[in-house]
């Protein structure tokens, strides 16, 4: 694979991640030991929040009443797409029951987890889309109790912005807490404030949220270990440079630590996009402008490859969270690419469609994790469990094979559990 860098980003410093991990571990330990008192203290210290943590039905109803009908209509459109796609995913995964040999029946069941905890980012943006992506998918999967937490804000009457509360209510969240960061994750994992202990934690968040989920993994399930969002555009000479530039800027606005890449076979496109991206970013309002300019300046890359196959190989190597193809022969790209969180085919598509309303989930693997996992789906909330039954017809051969393999491995106890069944079968059989 031959390529050249037209623009190269800086390497990521791992030292900051180590510092974050120690801080998160300390606060998780405090909250586990002290419970709600420590979580409430963290809400006051980190979010400046002294209001109600458990959102009442009345507070949610009042928030819903304040949301404009036009936004409710948009949320309904996006929610319907997300729910329908999630249901299609659920329908594609089925329970099975088959007879492998006469008398040997095996199968699989799909059992939803009992309790899911959804983290909804807050801060400078109101992530209503994250509320839809997480709660909707859990509900379609059949999760019995879905809790949601989101960082409180002083300018929101109930702590959580009205639009997020409306979305959580519309999508079916069973309980909502005005609690962000590590303390929000801990409340769901440890079952504080009347929540059942979460079986799985899902949803995007900052580095502290991601690290809290990582440290808790094993005690609870998680959707993935997520880093900063990242996005790649693969484009040939047919692409519109201004469209490509805005697609890169649209993802770079997430934050100064959000990598974006352009991979192309066209030196002319590379040069023009490189010229346009700073201009597009500078046209954004604050704080988006500063975030996009910083991300592009430090982490943005433009890579020139010799062929479409070279571009595909480079994309597979990076395994981006979002992969947008603006090139000829889209069917070839769909069949060829192997490593991405979500794929956007053609210039009329864009990552923002998937982020907000198209129906596919926007909780996706980052930092190259798309090499080995996909994004959030109904399958993350379902346990695939197996079962078997054995009749006398299948027992002699099955028990004999099991005993011989067990003894070859040196596991005599295993072998004797097979032997005793053969003996009981022989004793019950007529001579």
Please report how many Cα atoms fall inside a 13 Å half-sphere around the Cα of residue 123, on the Cβ side. Answer: 12
Give pLDDT, residue 1.
Answer: 67
Total number of domains in the chain: 3
Residue with tokens 């203290």: 41
Same-domain status, 194 and 86: yes
Q: Look at residues 187, 205, 223 and tell me which one is the last residue of a structural domain.
A: 223
Q: Look at residues 223, 238, 272 and tell me which one is the last residue of a structural domain.
A: 223
Same-domain status, 201 and 323: no
Give pLDDT, residue 430.
Answer: 65
Same-domain status, 97 and 31: yes
Q: Is 381 within the bounds of a domain? A: no
Residue with tokens 């030196």: 267
Q: Is 345 within the bounds of a domain? A: yes
Give pLDDT, residue 3.
Answer: 83
Q: Is 3 within the bounds of a domain? A: no
Same-domain status, 268 and 408: no
Q: Is 258 within the bounds of a domain? A: yes
- Residues 299, 262: Cα–Cα separation, whole Å: 12
**Contact (Cβ atoms closer than 8 angstroms) between residue 82 and residue 165:** no
Same-domain status, 368 and 400: no
Q: Which of 176, 70, 108, 87 is nearest to 388 (CA)?
A: 108
Give pLDDT, residue 78.
Answer: 97
**Catalytic positions, written as ranges:** 321-322
Same-domain status, 207 and 258: no
- Residues 399, 383: Cα–Cα separation, whole Å: 28
Crossing angle of helices 69-92 and 162-171, in 10° steps, is: 40
- Residues 209, 21: Cα–Cα separation, whole Å: 10
Decide the pairing of beta strands 104-112 and 175-178.
unpaired
Same-domain status, 154 and 200: yes
Same-domain status, 108 and 243: no
Same-domain status, 236 and 167: no
Same-domain status, 184 and 281: no
Q: Is 6 within the bounds of a domain? A: no
Mean pLDDT for each 10-residue chunk of the chain (431 residues)? 83 64 94 96 93 95 97 97 97 95 97 98 83 98 97 92 96 97 97 97 93 96 92 97 98 94 97 98 96 96 96 97 97 97 97 96 94 95 97 96 97 97 87 49
The 10s digit of each residue's pLDDT in 259-272 is 999 999 999 999 99
- Enter the pTM of the model: 0.92
Same-domain status, 283 and 367: yes
Same-domain status, 157 and 102: yes
**Contact (Cβ atoms closer than 8 angstroms) between residue 38 and residue 193:** no
Q: Is 68 within the bounds of a domain? A: yes
Q: Which of 86, 150, 84, 87 is nearest to 117 (CA)?
A: 150
Q: Is 343 within the bounds of a domain? A: yes
HEC per residue, the chain: CCEEEEECCCCCCCHHHHHHHHHHHHHHHHHHHHCHHHHHHHHHHHHCCCCCCECCHHHHHHHHHHCCHHHHHHHHHHHHHHHHHHHHHHHHCCCEEEEEECCEEEEEEEEECCEEEEECCCCCCCCHHHHHHHHHHHHHHCCCEEEEEECCCCCCCCCCCHHHHHHHHHHCCCEEEECCHHHHHHHHHHCCCCCCCCCEEECCCCHHHHHHHHHHECCEEECCCCCCCCEEEEECCCCCHHHHHHHHHHHHCCCCCCCEEEEECCHHHHHHHHHHHHHHHHCCCCCHHHHHHHHHHHHCEEEEECCHHHHHHHHHHHCCCEEEEECCCHHHHHHHCCCCCEEEECCCCCHHHHHHCCCCCCCCCCCCHHHCCCCCCHHHHEEEEEEEEECCCCHHHHHHHHHHHHHHHCCHHHHHHHHHHHHHHHHHCCC
DSSP-assigned beta bridge partners for residue 178: 150
Q: Is 195 within the bounds of a domain? A: yes
Give pLDDT, residue 191.
Answer: 97
Q: Look at residues 174, 194, 223 and tell me which one is the last residue of a structural domain.
A: 223
Altogether, the residues listed in the chain come to a count of: 431
What range defines the domain where residue 177 resides? 16-223
Query: What is the domain-level CATH number for residue 101?
Result: 3.40.50.1980
Give pLDDT, residue 88.
Answer: 97
């Amino acid at each position: 694979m031959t390529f050249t860098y037209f623009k190269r980003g800086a390497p990521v410093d791992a030292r900051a991640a180590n510092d974050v991990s120690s801080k998160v571990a300390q606060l998780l330990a405090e909250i586990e030991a002290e419970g709600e008192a420590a979580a409430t203290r963290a809400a006051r210290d980190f979010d400046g929040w002294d209001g109600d943590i458990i959102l009442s039905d009345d507070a949610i109803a009042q928030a819903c009443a304040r949301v404009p009908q036009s936004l409710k209509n948009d949320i309904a459109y996006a929610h319907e797409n997300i729910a329908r796609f999630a249901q299609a995913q659920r329908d594609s995964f089925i329970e099975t029951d088959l007879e492998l040999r006469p008398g040997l029946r095996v199968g699989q069941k799909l059992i939803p987890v009992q309790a899911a905890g959804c983290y909804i980012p807050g801060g400078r943006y109101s992530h209503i889309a994250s509320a839809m992506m997480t709660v909707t998918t859990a509900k379609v999967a059949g999760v019995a109790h879905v809790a949601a937490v989101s960082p409180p804000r002083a300018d929101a009457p109930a702590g959580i912005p009205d639009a997020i509360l409306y979305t959580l209510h519309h999508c079916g969240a069973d309980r909502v807490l005005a609690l962000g960061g590590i303390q929000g994750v801990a409340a769901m994992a440890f079952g504080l404030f009347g929540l059942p202990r979460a079986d799985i934690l899902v949803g995007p968040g900052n580095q502290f949220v991601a690290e809290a989920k990582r440290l808790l993994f094993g005690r609870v399930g998680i959707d993935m270990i997520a880093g900063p969002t990242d996005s790649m555009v693969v484009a040939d000479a047919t692409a519109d440079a201004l469209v490509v530039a805005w697609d890169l800027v649209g993802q770079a606005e997430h934050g100064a630590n959000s990598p974006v890449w352009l991979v192309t076979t066209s030196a002319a496109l590379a040069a023009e996009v490189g010229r346009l991206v700073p201009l597009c970013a500078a046209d954004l309002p604050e704080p988006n402008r500063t975030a996009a300019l910083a991300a592009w300046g430090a982490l943005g890359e433009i890579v020139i490859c010799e062929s479409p196959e070279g571009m595909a190989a480079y994309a597979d190597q990076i395994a981006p969270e979002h992969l947008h193809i603006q090139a000829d022969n889209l069917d070839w790209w769909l069949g060829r690419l192997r490593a991405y969180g979500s794929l956007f085919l053609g210039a009329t598509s864009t990552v923002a469609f998937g982020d907000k309303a198209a129906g596919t989930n926007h909780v996706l693997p980052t930092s190259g994790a798309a090499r080995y996992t996909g994004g959030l789906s109904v399958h993350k909330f379902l346990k695939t469990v197996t079962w078997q039954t054995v009749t006398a017809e299948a027992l002699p051969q099955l028990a004999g094979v099991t005993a011989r393999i067990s003894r070859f491995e040196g596991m005599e106890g295993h072998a004797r559990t097979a032997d005793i069944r053969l003996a009981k079968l022989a004793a019950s059989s007529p001579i």
